[in-house]
Copies of this chain bind each other. A is one copy, B any other.
Amino acid sequence: MNLRSYLVRRRRLVDRALRRYFPPNRKQPQRLIEAVRYSLFSGGKRLRPILALAAAEAVGGEPRAVLPFACAIEMIHTYSLIHDDLPAMDDDALRRGKPTSHVVFGEGLAILAGDALLTEAFRVMADCAGTSRNPRRALHAMREIAEASGAHGMVAGQAADLEAEGAAPDLPTVEFIHVRKTGALILASIRAGAMLAGARPSQLHRLSRYGECLGLAFQIADDILDVEGLPAQTGKMQGRDKARRKVTFPAVLGLPAAKERARTLLDHALAELAPFPAAAAPLREIARFIVGRACELPRS
Show the binding face of A for B, using Cβ within 8 Å.
Answer: 28-29, 31-33, 36, 79, 83, 86-89, 106-112, 114-116, 118-120, 122-123, 126-127, 129-130, 135-136, 139-140, 142-143, 146-147, 149-152, 155-156, 158-160, 162-163, 176
* Set of chain B residues within 8 Å of A136, measured between Cβ atoms: 130, 135
Chain B residue numbers with a CB within 8 Å of A29 are 156, 159-160, 163
In the complex, the answer to whether B130 meets A147 with C-beta atoms within 8 Å is no
Question: How many subunits of this chain does the assembly comprise?
Answer: 2
Say yes or no: B130 contacts A106, CB within 8 Å: no
Residue contact B118 to A159, C-beta cutoff 8 Å: no
The reply to whether B119 and A149 form a contact with Cβ atoms under 8 Å apart is yes
Residues of B within 8 A of A151 (CB): 32-33, 36, 116, 119-120
Q: What is the chain B residue whose CB lies nearest that of A107? A: B88
Partner of A143, one of B86, B116, B123, B176: B123
Q: At the interface, is chain A mostly helix, strand, loop or mixed?
A: helix
A129 touches B122 (CB 8 A): no
Whole-angstrom distance between the Cβ of A164 and the nearest chain B Cβ: 10
Q: Would A150 and B116 count as touching, CB distance under 8 A? A: yes
| Given known A29-B156, A118-B118, contact A109–B146 (CB-CB < 8 A) | no
Contact B130 A108 (CB under 8 A): no
Q: Can you list 8 A-B pairs with a CB-CB distance of less than 8 A?
A: A28-B160, A31-B163, A116-B155, A118-B119, A122-B122, A122-B146, A123-B143, A129-B135
Determine whether the beta carbon of A143 is less than 8 Å from that of B126.
yes
Nearest-Cβ distance from residue A1 to partner chain B, whole angstroms: 35
Please name all residues of chain B whose beta carbon is closer than 8 Å to the beta carbon of A150 when the two chains form the complex.
116, 119-120, 123
Whether the pair A111, B112 counts as a contact (CB closer than 8 A) is no
Q: How far is the CA of A143 from the CA of B128 in the complex (A)?
A: 10
Q: Which partner residue on chain B sits nearest A134 by CB separation?
A: B135
Other-chain residue from B79, B116, B142 in contact with A126 (beta carbon distance below 8 A): B142
Q: Is the CB of A159 within 8 A of B119?
A: no
A136 to B146, CA, bound (A): 19
Q: Name which of A33, A86, A126 has the most chain B CB atoms within 10 A of its CB.
A: A126
Known: A83-B111, A88-B107, A155-B32. A129 touches B139 (CB 8 A): yes
> Which 7 residue pairs spanning A and B have beta carbons closest together?
A88-B107, A123-B146, A119-B150, A116-B151, A130-B139, A32-B159, A88-B108
